[in-house]
Amino acid sequence: MKKSEVPQDKSNLESANFRELCYAVDENGEYTTAHTTGWDPKTIALDNAIEDINQRVQDAKDRVKNNQTSPIEYYMEFHKMDLPILASYVGIWQWRVKRHFKPKVFQKLSNKTLQKYADVFEITIEQLKNLKHAN
């Protein structure tokens, strides 16, 4: 796109006084950088993605409150991780991490294992065990 056509739509970037860097073609046909405050299609897509993430976090929190899953799943969603990422961060196989989502299994975890999760989520073991401390 031409530098003069770089969109300047309203977005969250504009309200925070940020501008995104993108590439455009100048009047000489050369690629150059240009700043944009936003682009409606991109803003809509990002807003939808954030809404989906927030819904997944809330669903996980509800499942914890209903004793259908452990707080590990909630904190995984809250930190925008998936099972493979979390497993690699804590150094535990995926099938074991998934097993730790079961409330009965979670209650029997050692402090050493709980500390691995707490370190990844940057919380204490007490906060991990007690979801009411969650944001």
Say if 122 falls within a structural domain: yes
Residues 119, 81: one domain?
Answer: yes
Are residues 34 and 92 located together in one domain of the fold? no
The span from the CA of 117 to the CA of 109, in Å, is 11
Examine the pLDDT at 135 and tell me if it is beyond 60: no
Which residue's entry shows tokens 């009411």?
Answer: 132
Mean pLDDT computed over 83-112: 98
Assess if residue 59 is contained within a domain: no
Arithmetic mean of pLDDT, 58-84:
97
- How far is CA 1 from its chain centroid? 31
User: Using 50, 70 and 90 to split pLDDT, how confident is the model at 126?
Assistant: very high
Residue ranges of the alpha helices (H) in the chain? 12-15, 40-65, 71-78, 83-90, 94-100, 103-107, 111-121, 125-129
Residue 54 lies inside a defined structural domain of this protein:
no
Sign for the CA dihedral angle at 128, 131, 133, 135 comes to positive
Q: Let me know whether 71 and 34 are in one domain.
A: no
45 part of a folded domain: no
In a domain, 56, yes or no: no
Q: What is the pTM of this model?
A: 0.75
b/e burial code for range 60-72 (CB count within 10 A of at least 16 → b): bbebbeeeebbbb
Residue 19, domain extent: 3-38
74/17 same-domain check: no
| Residue 117 belongs to domain with CATH number | 1.10.260.40
How many domains, in total, are found in the chain? 2
Residue 121 counted as domain residue: yes
